[in-house]
Amino acid sequence: MLQATPLTDGWILRHESAALPAAVPGCVHTDLLAAGVIPDPFVGLGETEVAWVGRRDWTYETDLDAASAHTAYEQTDLVFDGLDTVAEISLDGRPLGRVRNMHRSYRFDVTGLSGRLSVRFASAYAEAEAVRGRLGERPAAYAEPYQYLRKMACSFGWDWGPTLVTAGIWRPVRLEHWSTARIARVRPLVTVEQGTGRVELAIDVERTRVEAPLTVEATVDGVRARAEIDGTSGAVRLEVPDVRLWWPRGYGEQPLYDVELTLLHGEDALDVWRRRIGFRTVALDRRADADGTGFTLVVNGERLFARGVNWIPDDVFPSRVTRERYRTRLRQAAAAGVDLVRIWGGGIYESEDFYDACDELGLLVWQDFPFACAAYPEEQPLRGEVEAEARENVVRLMPHPSLVLWNGNNENLWGFRDWGWEPRLAGDSWGEGYYLGVLPRVVAELDPTRPYTAGSPWSGSWDRHPNDPAHGTHHSWEVWNREDYAEYRADVPRFVAEFGWQAPPAYATLRRALPGEELAADSPGMLHHQKAEDGNGKLRRGLERHFAFPEGDFDRWHYLTQVNQARAVAAGIEHWRSHWPVCAGTVVWQLNDCWPVTSWAAIDGDGREKPLYHELRRLYADRLLTLQGRELAVVNQAAEAWAGAVRLRRMSVEGAVVEEASVDFAAGRRAVDRVAVPKELEPVGPKEFLVADADGLRAVHFPAPDREVPYPRPEFEVVLVPGGISVTARTLVRDLLLQADRLHPDARADRGLVTLLPGEEVTIGVSGWETPDAAAARSALYCMEPAR
Q: Looking at the predicted structure, is the pLDDT value of residue 540 above 70?
A: yes
Element (H, E) at 99: strand 94-100
Mean pLDDT of the residues in the chain:
97
pLDDT at 151: 98
The Cα–Cα gap between 130 and 721 comes to 64
Catalytic, 680? Answer: no
Strand partners, 623: 636
Element (H, E) at 527: helix 524-528
pLDDT at 314: 98
User: Residue 729: what residue type?
Assistant: A
pLDDT at 778: 96
Q: Looking at the predicted structure, is the pLDDT value of residue 360 above 70?
A: yes
Element (H, E) at 68: helix 66-69
Strand partners, 89: 97, 119
Domain extents in the chain: 3-176, 180-277, 711-788
Band of the pLDDT at 66, cuts 50, 70, 90?
confident
DSSP string, 662-696: EEEEEE-TTEEEEEEPPGGGS--STTEEEEEEETT
Chain segment 282-321, per-residue pLDDT in tens: 999 999 999 999 999 999 999 999 999 999 999 999 999 9
Where does 312-376 have alpha helices with state H? 323-335, 352-361
Average pLDDT score over residue span 687-704: 96
Radius of gyration of the chain (CA): 28
The Cα–Cα gap between 774 and 506 comes to 21
Q: Looking at the predicted structure, is the pLDDT value of residue 788 above 70?
A: no
Report the relative pairing of strands 452-453 and 403-407 from DSSP bridges. Answer: parallel
Give the CA-trace dihedral at 18, 22, 26, 28, to 10 degrees: -10
CATH topology of domain 180-277: Immunoglobulin-like (2.60.40)
User: Residue 339: what residue type?
Assistant: D
The Cα–Cα gap between 227 and 132 comes to 49
* CA proximity to 500, closest of 482, 521, 485: 485
180-277 and 3-176 share a CATH fold: no
Q: Looking at the predicted structure, is the pLDDT value of residue 69 above 80?
A: no
Chain segment 27-51, per-residue pLDDT in tens: 999 999 999 999 999 999 999 999 9
Catalytic residue among 411, 432, 498, 609: 411
CATH of domain 711-788: 2.60.40
Return the beta strands (E) in 509-577 as ranges: none
The Cα–Cα gap between 574 and 406 comes to 27
Contact criterion met (CB below 8 Å) for 735 and 563: yes
Whether domain 3-176 has CATH 2.60.120.260: the reply is yes
Positive or negative, the CA dihedral 323, 618, 687, 633 is: positive
Q: Looking at the predicted structure, is the pLDDT value of residue 67 above 90?
A: no
From the number of C-beta atoms within 10 Å of its C-beta (0-12, 13-18, 19+), residue 248 rates as buried
